[in-house]
Amino acid sequence: MAQTNVNIRMDEETKKAFDKFCDEIGLSVSAAFNIFAKTVVREQRIPFALSVETPNAETVAAMNEYYEMKAHPEKYKRYTSFKEAMTEVLDEA
């Protein structure tokens, strides 16, 4: 099978730590990336969980506001259409 080169950019500290890890388990960096790529192709997915870090304060506040509004809808004004809501917003400006 023909070979090709792939260039990957990463910060220097991560590269050094990855090199050390690969060396400790007896793999080259190239072999480790090949294992990763072949697993992705075979399984048609990233072979580990990906997640978003903890949301920032603004996002948490927005989520809490949403949950409050959902729990107590009687406290909040409702609109029958987007046009009605936009009319009110524009009239306040």
Domain shared by 38 and 61, yes or no = no
The answer to whether residue 49 sits within a structural domain is no
Question: What SS3 class is residue 49?
Answer: coil
Domain shared by 62 and 86, yes or no = yes
Task: Determine the average pLDDT of the residues in 14-38.
Answer: 96
The answer to whether residue 52 sits within a structural domain is no
Contact 47, 36 (CB under 8 A): yes
Give the structural domain span for 61: 57-92
* Residue 10 in this model has a pLDDT that exceeds 90: yes
Percent of the chain with pLDDT over 70: 99
Contact 28, 22 (CB under 8 A): yes
The answer to whether residue 20 sits within a structural domain is yes
The answer to whether residue 48 sits within a structural domain is no
Task: Determine the average pLDDT of the residues in 64-76.
Answer: 93
The answer to whether residue 7 sits within a structural domain is no
* Residue 93 in this model has a pLDDT that exceeds 70: no
Question: What SS3 class is residue 79?
Answer: coil
Q: With residue 62 as reference, give the H or E element that holds it.
A: helix 57-71
Contact 79, 85 (CB under 8 A): yes
Tally the domains of the chain: 2
